[in-house]
Amino acid sequence: MEFEIWHIWLMVSIIFFILEIFIPSFVVFNLGVGALFATIIAATGASASWQFLTFSIFTLVSFFLVRPALKRWAYSRSDKTETNVNAIIGRTGKVIETIDPSNNSGLVKIDGDTWQAVTPNSSIIEVGKIVKVLSINSIILTVEQQ
Protein backbone atom coordinates (compact mmCIF):
# COMPACT_ATOMS: atom_id res chain seq x y z
CA MET A 1 0.00 0.00 0.00
CA GLU A 2 1.35 3.38 -0.95
CA PHE A 3 0.92 6.33 1.40
CA GLU A 4 0.03 9.73 0.09
CA ILE A 5 0.76 12.92 2.00
CA TRP A 6 -2.85 13.34 3.07
CA HIS A 7 -2.70 9.90 4.72
CA ILE A 8 0.20 11.12 6.83
CA TRP A 9 -1.64 14.32 7.79
CA LEU A 10 -4.68 12.23 8.77
CA MET A 11 -2.57 9.89 10.92
CA VAL A 12 -0.90 12.88 12.59
CA SER A 13 -4.33 14.37 13.29
CA ILE A 14 -5.60 11.14 14.82
CA ILE A 15 -2.45 10.84 16.95
CA PHE A 16 -2.94 14.39 18.24
CA PHE A 17 -6.58 13.67 19.13
CA ILE A 18 -5.57 10.49 20.96
CA LEU A 19 -2.80 12.33 22.81
CA GLU A 20 -5.36 14.89 23.99
CA ILE A 21 -7.02 12.09 25.96
CA PHE A 22 -3.82 11.54 27.93
CA ILE A 23 -2.69 15.19 28.09
CA PRO A 24 -5.95 17.08 28.84
CA SER A 25 -4.83 20.63 28.21
CA PHE A 26 -6.77 21.45 25.02
CA VAL A 27 -3.45 22.31 23.34
CA VAL A 28 -2.71 19.04 21.53
CA PHE A 29 -6.34 19.06 20.36
CA ASN A 30 -5.68 22.30 18.48
CA LEU A 31 -2.76 20.70 16.66
CA GLY A 32 -5.11 17.88 15.67
CA VAL A 33 -7.59 20.37 14.25
CA GLY A 34 -4.83 22.03 12.23
CA ALA A 35 -3.64 18.66 10.94
CA LEU A 36 -7.20 17.71 10.00
CA PHE A 37 -7.58 20.81 7.84
CA ALA A 38 -4.13 20.19 6.36
CA THR A 39 -5.40 16.72 5.43
CA ILE A 40 -8.21 18.27 3.41
CA ILE A 41 -5.84 20.65 1.63
CA ALA A 42 -3.34 17.85 0.95
CA ALA A 43 -6.10 15.67 -0.52
CA THR A 44 -6.80 18.39 -3.10
CA GLY A 45 -3.20 18.19 -4.27
CA ALA A 46 -1.99 21.52 -2.86
CA SER A 47 1.72 22.11 -2.36
CA ALA A 48 3.53 21.44 0.91
CA SER A 49 3.78 25.16 1.66
CA TRP A 50 -0.03 25.48 1.43
CA GLN A 51 -0.44 22.44 3.65
CA PHE A 52 1.83 23.88 6.36
CA LEU A 53 0.21 27.30 6.05
CA THR A 54 -3.24 25.71 6.46
CA PHE A 55 -1.98 23.67 9.40
CA SER A 56 -0.58 26.80 11.08
CA ILE A 57 -3.62 29.00 10.46
CA PHE A 58 -6.19 26.46 11.64
CA THR A 59 -4.10 25.52 14.66
CA LEU A 60 -3.98 29.18 15.73
CA VAL A 61 -7.66 29.77 14.96
CA SER A 62 -8.55 26.67 16.95
CA PHE A 63 -6.29 27.72 19.79
CA PHE A 64 -7.84 31.18 20.11
CA LEU A 65 -11.48 30.30 19.34
CA VAL A 66 -12.12 26.65 20.19
CA ARG A 67 -9.83 26.20 23.21
CA PRO A 68 -11.50 28.91 25.38
CA ALA A 69 -14.94 27.53 24.56
CA LEU A 70 -13.88 23.97 25.38
CA LYS A 71 -12.30 25.06 28.65
CA ARG A 72 -15.45 26.94 29.67
CA TRP A 73 -17.60 23.92 28.80
CA ALA A 74 -15.34 21.37 30.53
CA TYR A 75 -14.88 23.32 33.75
CA SER A 76 -18.45 24.61 34.03
CA ARG A 77 -19.82 21.12 34.45
CA SER A 78 -18.64 20.82 38.04
CA ASP A 79 -21.65 20.64 40.34
CA LYS A 80 -20.20 22.86 43.09
CA THR A 81 -20.61 20.09 45.66
CA GLU A 82 -18.92 20.89 48.93
CA THR A 83 -16.19 18.47 49.93
CA ASN A 84 -14.15 17.58 52.97
CA VAL A 85 -15.27 19.26 56.21
CA ASN A 86 -17.47 21.80 54.42
CA ALA A 87 -19.68 18.92 53.28
CA ILE A 88 -20.72 18.38 56.90
CA ILE A 89 -22.53 21.73 57.16
CA GLY A 90 -26.27 21.12 56.96
CA ARG A 91 -25.98 17.41 57.82
CA THR A 92 -27.70 15.83 60.80
CA GLY A 93 -26.17 13.75 63.53
CA LYS A 94 -26.93 12.17 66.88
CA VAL A 95 -25.73 13.48 70.23
CA ILE A 96 -23.68 10.78 71.98
CA GLU A 97 -22.48 12.94 74.91
CA THR A 98 -24.63 15.73 76.36
CA ILE A 99 -23.74 19.09 74.86
CA ASP A 100 -23.24 21.30 77.92
CA PRO A 101 -21.24 24.53 77.56
CA SER A 102 -20.82 24.87 81.35
CA ASN A 103 -18.93 21.54 81.46
CA ASN A 104 -17.25 22.13 78.09
CA SER A 105 -18.59 18.79 76.89
CA GLY A 106 -20.53 17.50 73.96
CA LEU A 107 -20.02 14.93 71.21
CA VAL A 108 -22.01 14.31 68.05
CA LYS A 109 -21.79 11.30 65.75
CA ILE A 110 -22.19 11.92 62.01
CA ASP A 111 -21.66 9.09 59.51
CA GLY A 112 -19.64 7.10 62.02
CA ASP A 113 -17.33 10.00 62.88
CA THR A 114 -17.36 11.62 66.30
CA TRP A 115 -17.14 15.42 66.52
CA GLN A 116 -16.88 17.82 69.42
CA ALA A 117 -19.97 20.03 69.40
CA VAL A 118 -21.26 23.30 70.83
CA THR A 119 -24.52 25.21 70.48
CA PRO A 120 -24.80 28.81 69.25
CA ASN A 121 -26.91 29.95 72.21
CA SER A 122 -25.16 27.91 74.95
CA SER A 123 -28.19 25.62 75.39
CA ILE A 124 -27.93 22.04 76.65
CA ILE A 125 -28.83 19.17 74.32
CA GLU A 126 -29.30 15.71 75.82
CA VAL A 127 -27.90 12.37 74.57
CA GLY A 128 -29.90 10.75 71.77
CA LYS A 129 -31.26 13.99 70.29
CA ILE A 130 -30.88 14.70 66.57
CA VAL A 131 -28.96 17.86 65.71
CA LYS A 132 -28.20 19.79 62.54
CA VAL A 133 -24.72 21.20 61.83
CA LEU A 134 -24.76 24.98 61.41
CA SER A 135 -21.02 25.62 61.02
CA ILE A 136 -17.61 24.19 61.67
CA ASN A 137 -14.60 25.80 63.30
CA SER A 138 -11.51 23.60 63.11
CA ILE A 139 -12.78 20.34 64.69
CA ILE A 140 -15.70 21.81 66.64
CA LEU A 141 -19.20 21.74 65.17
CA THR A 142 -21.83 24.32 66.02
CA VAL A 143 -25.16 22.48 66.08
CA GLU A 144 -28.83 23.09 66.82
CA GLN A 145 -31.46 20.58 67.92
CA GLN A 146 -33.87 19.40 65.23
pLDDT at 128: 95
Q: Return d(Cα 58, Cα 66) in angstroms, integer.
A: 10
pLDDT at 82: 65
Helix, strand, coil abundance in the chain, percent, nearest 5: 45, 25, 30
C-alpha dihedral sign at 71, 77, 83, 87: positive
Beta strands per DSSP E along 1-146: 92-100, 105-110, 113-118, 130-137, 140-145
- pLDDT tens digits along 41-76: 999 999 999 999 999 999 999 999 987 887 787 777
This prediction has a pTM of 0.52
Residue pair 115/95 in contact (Cβ under 8 Å)? The answer is no
- pLDDT tens digits along 66-121: 878 877 877 776 666 666 777 889 999 999 999 998 888 999 999 889 999 999 98
In the chain, the domains with their CATH numbers are: 5-76 (no CATH), 86-145 (2.40.50.140)
Residue 47: half-sphere exposure toward Cβ, Cα within 13 Å? 3
Given a cut of 90, whether residue 26 has pLDDT beyond it is no
- Which string of b and e fits 118-140 if b means at least 16 CB within 10 Å? bbeeeeebeeeeebebeebeeee
Beta strands per DSSP E along 35-102: 92-100
